[in-house]
A and B are shown apart, each in its own frame.
Chain A
């Protein structure tokens, strides 16, 4: 609460103010301002400094597009003045940006391939192994519904020794959980999640994502008690954080099948975070789960007025569940169609359907 609108803060003041804020929109707004100042003054070092903070903040608070824009600039500067900046950080950030690229249907398969090749080339130039490249190829293959590629690069990735650019162990373990769920083996997904469930493996995003990803498998395996604990613990970890919109979708989808009232509470709390989310994939996962819930609510006929954020396009129709369900459904199926078109398969159409039609 220090910005006075009549005084224009300096770059340093802005950076100090940003430092005090938690990761999120308010912090990004201040960093954007810092970037604007730096750019106006044509100060590359300051522009670099502020954008590093944007990448760090945006990547973990649900703004992948802003991270991409800032990173693009950093990479451009790095190629111009390679010695001036910290190489390791840039190589590390590359993973974050690459990981989210496949979430955007507007980014073509060729572009994703080029990004992977570009990353590999840069990693090799600095003496790092191909392991991280294979790991991300594996992740992207899963994200794009390519089983063969996923299996191939899973093998290649796990055959190599870790190095300094490897993701932390909990994050890698989480990918194994996702892999088995992706392959349709819920049992093995659960086995792979044991280190997270027992609390031995954790980092800033694990087990947050893991617990969410296990909810529907647990439901399918009829592990009722496990699911209940995972839901409770998992939701506490992610509540209020825009970085976990996909995970909110998982929670809503699971709870819709178990306890509609709880699902509704989670939905109402998470909706303001999801409504204008930058990440089309995550938003799709949220929206399809929301549509499933709203359809259930419409079918039950129980009168209720949802708490919708003022900025929601249907904010004035908070009691019309059918209309709301359709709105969420339309958004989700449109994104699914464009992702599938890009990926050349129908994985998301099917996935989204399974969330919308709870039955």
Chain B
């Protein structure tokens, strides 16, 4: 296999690099991750046979920007000529299984060749000098070009076992060759690596991962060293946090820190958890590693039990990931429950910012709901309060399923000090519906807008008799709006009339409006599907006999006045309820207004 000196890749390397940079990796910067990965793997492999070996990775940046070069060296296992061909000429075929000591997933996590190829994203030529730790192996120089050719030659110099990779900055990649950028990337990728990474550049030398935090093994310790953990999160995640939660799975193979976001995020917010796989940063935007409800935290997670996708920037959905996700979720849930017992103030401040998230979790999990329901905020006719506060005011809670119904009811319920909760927001109605399971002594009732009638006072028998005829007339006047009139007594007195529409009526109304705007075919279809609404589709105009004007209207023999007055009350009630007016209602309003002015002027004369 080693007679000829020049070899050719089996694939078009240019195309391959294009695929890597445009489709597999999110950014060229990952070349540093790939190099660190290869170096780490090589050291780990060598330590299998030489356990006492102190691994070391050194990185040197010579020059800056264009014309600069980067050298990364490790004292790992190195490569023989045969291995170079295997690793580099057989891209895409996993190196695993080719060599005994590399075949174990745990020791050799990288795919050497494909990793090295990623360097072509930032360098047109890659030079690698390597000497295998195998007895008698000569030092070799491998020189690969982006056009797909590579050469190998034996070197006559004496070098220690290990691998050294040289890259020269490619035009357009100057940004990846500055001390600041390289140092930052090395820190981000390598902060948890077990071998020291020394970074040398003009004017400086630093050890990137000098201080490997001990909470990697024991995330729980951050409880007593919060400031340190927050500082760590700030450096790695670039945000200032004030709260964090330790994460750990039962296997101990996945741990982390969940930082509670110091601002409210919406339900659809992108999740950008940062995950270290086998101590190496693999993803800065892992989405699927926590349950959906946990959108109020940003996590640092380290694991050695998940399978990365081809790009190594996410994880395969499999049973294992399922379990890890579940258990990480449990860690967060447990901590919140712990807070509820020992630090309720802390929990409340979290809930204040992340009510949506807390409600999402509570909707999914009875136990959690049981623990935190008291602190969940709801909008009600008593104002914005926590459920606990509302329950102190009343053991009987009414709630609506939609914002619409709430609005219809709210002002009259407020006037009568009825406690009604707006259940129209995501999860709210669902949670209130389930409240009695958690607090058996609380009664909840779903209210439709037509249900506020329980707050209406009925007329007495003589009154009923007295107003019978006028009410019948009123019904006749409103009939063309599929609306009927009712005469009641209710608070507030200032409100003359209330328009109550069933959900079905509103659906019907919107279908009727649409039919006027659509094509004949769709109008005919809408007619057919709206049949189902006919029975339930009605509206009611509730007139308030406590209101002096209504009392006068019905007491007097209003006669000619009644139709106009009722139509005006009807339109006025629609407007109060924020309903858009149909064309005929709008013209009714205009005509009515003029007629009333006319009547008024006549009366004054």
A interacts with B: yes
**Interface residues, chain A, with chain B CB atoms under 8 Å away:** 1, 3, 5, 8, 20-22, 24-26, 29-30, 32-33, 35-37, 39-40, 65, 68-73, 75-77, 79, 101, 104, 106-108, 111, 114-115, 118, 199, 236, 240, 272, 307, 309-311
Q: Is the CB of B517 within 8 A of A73?
A: yes
Determine the chain B residues whose CB is within 8 A of the CB of A20 once the complex forms: 266-268
Selected from A33, A107, A309, the residue in CB contact (under 8 A) with B433 is A309
- Interface presence of B446 (CB below 8 A): yes
A3-B403, A22-B268, A29-B403 known; A272 and B430 CB under 8 Å? yes
Q: Is the CB of A72 within 8 A of B522?
A: yes
A104 to B528, CA, bound (A): 9
Selected from B322, B511, B519, the residue in CB contact (under 8 A) with A69 is B511
- Interface presence of B175 (CB below 8 A): no
Q: Is the CB of B581 within 8 A of A310?
A: no
Q: How far is the CB of A239 from chain B (nearest CB, A)?
A: 9
Selected from A39, A107, A236, A310, the residue in CB contact (under 8 A) with B444 is A310
Q: Is the CB of A115 within 8 A of B425?
A: no
A309 to B436, CA, bound (A): 12
A39 to B586, CA, bound (A): 13
A106-B532, A115-B521 known; A26 and B424 CB under 8 Å? yes
Selected from A22, A25, A107, A236, the residue in CB contact (under 8 A) with B525 is A107
**Could you tell me which residues of chain B, from 563 to 596, have a CB within 8 Å of some CB in chain A?**
578-581
Q: Is the CB of A107 within 8 A of B528?
A: yes
Where chain A touches its partner, the secondary structure class is: helix
In the complex, which range does the number of interface residues on chain B fall in? 35 or more
A69-B510, A72-B523, A75-B519 known; A104 and B426 CB under 8 Å? no
Selected from B430, B517, B529, B580, the residue in CB contact (under 8 A) with A68 is B529
Determine the chain A residues whose CB is within 8 A of the CB of B267 once the complex forms: 20-22
Determine the chain A residues whose CB is within 8 A of the CB of B355 once the complex forms: 1
Q: Is the CB of A25 within 8 A of B402?
A: yes
- Interface presence of B401 (CB below 8 A): yes
- Interface presence of B514 (CB below 8 A): yes
A69 to B511, CA, bound (A): 6
Selected from B426, B446, B507, B581, the residue in CB contact (under 8 A) with A40 is B581
Determine the chain A residues whose CB is within 8 A of the CB of B511 once the complex forms: 69
A22-B426, A25-B402, A39-B513 known; A79 and B529 CB under 8 Å? no
**Interface residues, chain B, with chain A CB atoms under 8 Å away:** 266-268, 317, 322, 355-356, 364, 377, 379, 401-404, 406-407, 410, 422, 424-426, 430, 433, 437, 444-446, 507, 510-511, 513-515, 517-519, 521-526, 528-529, 531-532, 578-581
A310 to B515, CA, bound (A): 34
Determine the chain B residues whose CB is within 8 A of the CB of A65 once the complex forms: 507, 529
Q: Is the CB of B402 within 8 A of A29?
A: yes
Q: Is the CB of A77 within 8 A of B426?
A: no
Q: Is the CB of B525 within 8 A of A26?
A: no
Determine the chain B residues whose CB is within 8 A of the CB of A307 once the complex forms: 437
A255 to B348, CA, bound (A): 41
Q: Is the CB of A69 within 8 A of B514?
A: yes
Which one of B513, B514, B524 has the highest number of Cβ atoms from chain A below 10 Å of its Cβ?
A: B514
Q: Is the CB of A106 within 8 A of B514?
A: no
Selected from B446, B510, B519, B528, the residue in CB contact (under 8 A) with A111 is B528
Selected from A26, A32, A272, the residue in CB contact (under 8 A) with B426 is A26
Residue of B nearest to A27 (CB): B426
Determine the chain A residues whose CB is within 8 A of the CB of B403 once the complex forms: 3, 26, 29-30, 33
Q: Is the CB of B425 within 8 A of A1?
A: yes
Determine the chain B residues whose CB is within 8 A of the CB of A75 once the complex forms: 518-519, 522
A24-B426, A36-B580 known; A106 and B519 CB under 8 Å? no
A113 to B101, CA, bound (A): 68
Residue of B nearest to A51 (CB): B514
Determine the chain A residues whose CB is within 8 A of the CB of B410 once the complex forms: 5
Q: Is the CB of B517 within 8 A of A114?
A: no
Determine the chain B residues whose CB is within 8 A of the CB of A36 once the complex forms: 578-580
Q: How far is the CB of B405 from chain A (nearest CB, A)?
A: 10
11 A-B residue pairs with Cβ-Cβ distance under 8 Å, sorted by A, are A3-B403, A21-B267, A32-B510, A40-B581, A69-B514, A72-B517, A72-B519, A75-B522, A106-B528, A107-B528, A111-B521
A261 to B450, CA, bound (A): 38
A147 to B322, CA, bound (A): 41
A40 to B403, CA, bound (A): 19
Residue of B nearest to A106 (CB): B528
Determine the chain B residues whose CB is within 8 A of the CB of A272 once the complex forms: 430, 433
Determine the chain B residues whose CB is within 8 A of the CB of A240 once the complex forms: 364
A106-B532, A310-B433 known; A72 and B425 CB under 8 Å? no
Q: How far is the CB of B590 from chain A (nearest CB, A)?
A: 15
